[in-house]
Amino acid sequence: MPSRVRISDVASAAGVSIATVSASLNEVESARISADTRARVREVADRLGYVPNRLAQGLRAQRSSTIGFIGDRVATTPYAVGMVRGALEAARAADRVILLMNAEGDPELESRELATLLQHQVDGVLYATMYHRSVEVPSGLGATPVVLVDAESADPTVSSVVPDEISGATTAVGELLDHGHRRIGFINNTEPILAATGRLEGYTRTLERAGIGLDPTLIIAAPSIGPEGGYRAARQLLELPERPTGLFCFRDLMAMGVYQAASEAGLRIPQDLSVVGFDNMEFAAGLDPGLTTVALPHYEMGTWGVRELLGLIDSPSRKAKQVKLCGQLIRRRSVAPPPT
């Protein structure tokens, strides 16, 4: 294996000092190096295939130009990969690279992984969760800048970006109201995460604002958040004496189970039952009929997180920000006026 070309090889080939090579390639402005010399050094470096050593640069500058991205299972489940994409693109735009870690929801593993990130001298850390929830910033991070993504902290000095759950639910329920529905059910998640409590609040508020009294029998927290949970909850709702004509589901995967329950009950979507999901997963367009749903701002949270983190790295004393980003309604064919 040929060994890597070193800066000293470039210096001798170009007949200049190592410092001149370094300054020429790094565009150090104050250095008094002629344009000719700069050009010659660059030409020699290119010809030899010299690659600057960012590890060495990082040590000198005490900046590694790397960012740690640690998630519970964010990077390795289909659901939230948009966050990773957003983070990668924002990092690339700023000439930073991302060290990726997955803690699998295991606190002990997480603290080991954070220690490894710090050993690798990351300039800052994005701490991301799969579902919007409240977290404590791991103490092991010390003074390293951190931004929470899809998670928030009770500590106002910590920057975070989360989806606006209330607005997301308002959008979903509003779509049903706009089509004339008055009896609207909500199939929620049982876990006390902010995604669930926020969407419940959005559902409740939106109905109240429309002058519709809350009927607790129309709200079901499903024990499982897969299609099976949606199926069971929908069975229960569709057997009510006065059944709902529209259903808002915590997740597209639950909406999928609603489709099955509706089909078994002989109800057509959307003629007999309207359905709105949440997540805009890959299969939502493929359901029959295509599922109207709310897309979470995963990509936008990833890019915002990286940009905020870079700001904190550059100005450690700057004030933390907590932002909420709105999701977007993706209209397909699962919503129609209620049957008359």
Q: Which residues bind a copy of itself (CB under 8 A)?
A: 1-2, 4, 49, 51-56, 58-59, 64-66, 69, 75-79, 81-82, 84-85, 88-89, 92, 95, 97-102, 113, 115-121, 142-143, 226-228, 253, 256-257, 259-260, 263, 281-283, 285-288, 316
Q: Looking at beta carbons only, is 117 or 166 nearer to a copy of itself? A: 117
Count of beta carbons in the 10 Å neighbourhood of residue 188: 25
Q: Are strands 146-152 and 124-134 parallel, antiparallel or unpaired?
A: parallel
Q: 124 with 146: CB under 8 angstroms?
A: yes
For residues 249 and 269, what is the distance between their CA atoms, to the nearest angstrom? 14
Q: Looking at beta carbons only, is 170 or 280 nearer to a copy of itself? A: 280
What is the closest distance, in whole angstroms, from the C-beta atom of residue 164 to a copy of itself in the complex? Answer: 23
Tokens of residue 2, six digits? 């040929």
What is the closest distance, in whole angstroms, from the C-beta atom of residue 246 to a copy of itself in the complex? Answer: 21
Tell me the helices (H) and strands (E) count for the chain, helix number first.
11, 12
- Using only the alpha carbons of the chain, give its radius of gyration: 26
What is the closest distance, in whole angstroms, from the C-beta atom of residue 151 to a copy of itself in the complex? Answer: 20
Q: Looking at beta carbons only, is 305 or 338 nearer to a copy of itself? A: 305
For residues 116 and 176, what is the distance between their CA atoms, to the nearest angstrom? 48
Q: In 3D, which of 92, 47, 49 has the Cα closest to residue 67?
A: 92
What is the closest distance, in whole angstroms, from the C-beta atom of residue 178 to a copy of itself in the complex? Answer: 27
What is the closest distance, in whole angstroms, from the C-beta atom of residue 264 to a copy of itself in the complex? Answer: 8
Q: 137 with 153: CB under 8 angstroms?
A: yes
What is the closest distance, in whole angstroms, from the C-beta atom of residue 241 to a copy of itself in the complex? Answer: 26
Q: Looking at beta carbons only, is 174 or 289 nearer to a copy of itself? A: 289
Q: Looking at beta carbons only, is 191 or 264 nearer to a copy of itself? A: 264
Q: 328 with 278: CB under 8 angstroms?
A: no
